[in-house]
């Protein structure tokens, strides 16, 4: 079986999981597996509700083109976007 590490779990969520595992007399790991199984029951991966065909995406972008209203210049917007990015790993090109 595979292993999974979950990072940055909010304390309140972890507390709920711990209380539930104690109430159900299961280990925390077992309880997480049960919760995941129950939440995913009936899930069918072949159904993709988030998929939008390319043609539909193109039409949506065409409708949006020219509709954006912002008093800032393109240069100001670009600077803001770049300033808000988090640094990635260093790459030598």
Model confidence pLDDT, tens digit, residues 23-45: 999 999 999 999 999 998 887 77
If one counts every other C-beta atom within 10 angstroms of the C-beta of residue 31, the result is 19
Cβ atoms of 28 and 21 within 8 Å: the answer is: yes
Cβ atoms of 20 and 31 within 8 Å: the answer is: yes
Q: Could you tell me the residue ranges of all domains in the chain?
A: 11-40, 54-84
Query: Does the structure show a pLDDT above 70 at 49?
Result: no
Flag whether the pTM goes above 0.75.
no
């Amino acid at each position: 079986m595979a292993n999974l590490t979950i990072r940055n779990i909010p304390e309140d969520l972890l507390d709920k999981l711990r209380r539930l595992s104690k109430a159900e007399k299961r280990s925390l790991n077992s309880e997480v597996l049960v919760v995941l199984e129950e939440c995913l029951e009936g899930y069918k991966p072949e159904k993709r509700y988030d998929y939008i065909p390319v043609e539909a995406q193109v039409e949506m972008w065409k409708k949006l083109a020219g509709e954006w209203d912002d008093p800032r210049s393109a240069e100001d917007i670009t600077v803001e976007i770049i300033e808000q990015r988090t640094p990635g790993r260093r790459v030598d090109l």
